[in-house]
Amino acid sequence: MREIRPVPSPAHADCPRCARTVPVDRPWRGWVVVRGLWAFAVLVMMATAPAIAADALFLTPLAILLLGAGGFIIDRSREPARCRRCRYPLERRSETRRAPAR
């Protein structure tokens, strides 16, 4: 059984790769809020699709840019906390929503 050592602060965690308590590099949690805003904007775009399709000069490229930004925003919002020394992911945020491995 693995020994559980006391962690000095929430800014530190045990890194299995470094085998010691290390400072944690946490990503900005505002990306989760940005992801929610992006999803809301996509819903508004779906409701106003006829108006967006009618304006091919401004609204349609803007809608394409907004949809394309979704991958970046979702990727940033699922970024786990990492070890500051070796970049090892210390929490498995991105794997909690996936199907279990067989």
Give the footprint of Zn ion on this chain (CB under 5 A): 15, 17-18, 83, 85-86, 88
Residue number with CB closer to Zn ion (70 or 89): 89
Give residue 3's Cα distance to chain centre: 30
**Shortest spacing between CB 92 and Zn ion, in angstroms:** 15
Which residues, 6+ apart, have CB-to-CB distance to 95 below 8 Å?
A: none
Minimum distance, C-beta of residue 40 to Zn ion, in the bound complex (Å): 37
Minimal distance, residue 89 CB to Zn ion, in Å: 10
Vertex 51: Cα angle to 46 and 56 (nearest 5): 105
Q: Which is nearer to Zn ion, 13 or 73 (CB)?
A: 13
The nearer residue to Zn ion, 14 or 34, going by C-beta atoms, is 14
The dihedral built from the CA positions of residue 28, 29, 31 and 34, taken in this order, carries a sign that is negative
Q: Which is nearer to Zn ion, 5 or 98 (CB)?
A: 5
Adjacent-strand bridge partners of 83: 24
What the block records as the tokens of 65 is 């840019």
In the complex, minimum distance from the CB of residue 4 to Zn ion, in angstroms, rounded to a whole number: 17
